[in-house]
Amino acid sequence: MEEQILFLAANLLEEASNEFSNHGCNDLCESTKDEVTDEESLCKDMQKWNGDPEWPEKIEYIGDSSLMSYLAYKLKQYAKYSQQEEHILPIPDIRNKLSPIVNLIKMIENGLDPKYIDKEIERSKISINYLADREVFKFNEKKT
């Protein structure tokens, strides 16, 4: 019964996250921020979940829809929900992972400095690996 409750709560959080991601402002309310007792650990775990090495290190910079998606993921882990059985990414997660790719395209179109483009290429590769659920791009390889 507990697994069912956790799974239902995770699904509801994902639905709410999809709705909240369409809001203009996604700041967390103060009462939610006040519940965070170990900000550093939470932010590091969210960074690991998100796959972005530059994920915010402060809870105040994390949006409500991102936190909901993360909590849904954690609830599913606790409920022993297998990501392999049904690997469906929530819409906010997909949007988040596409943002470096969108930024890269805009940078190229606007003719920005290549050093900024190179950094965005690395972020895009991380996102592509995550979305593909496999290692499409390997890292720590020297360009030739």
Domain membership of residue 131 as a residue range: 89-144
83 and 100 in a single domain? The answer is: no
Inter-residue contact 60 to 28 (CB < 8 Å)? yes
DSSP state, residue 62: S
Q: How many Cα atoms are found within 13 Å in the side-chain-facing hemisphere of 111?
A: 0
Nearest partner of 75 among 143, 142, 9, judged by Cα: 9
The per-residue pLDDT string of the chain (144 residues; one tens digit each, 9 = 90 and over) reads 577 788 888 888 888 888 888 776 778 888 888 899 999 999 988 888 888 878 888 888 888 888 888 898 888 887 764 444 555 677 777 888 888 888 889 889 988 888 888 888 888 888 888 887 777 777 655 454
81 and 96 in a single domain? The answer is: no
Instruction: Determine the residue type at 68.
Output: M
Residue matched to tokens 């929900």? 81
79 and 93 in a single domain? The answer is: no
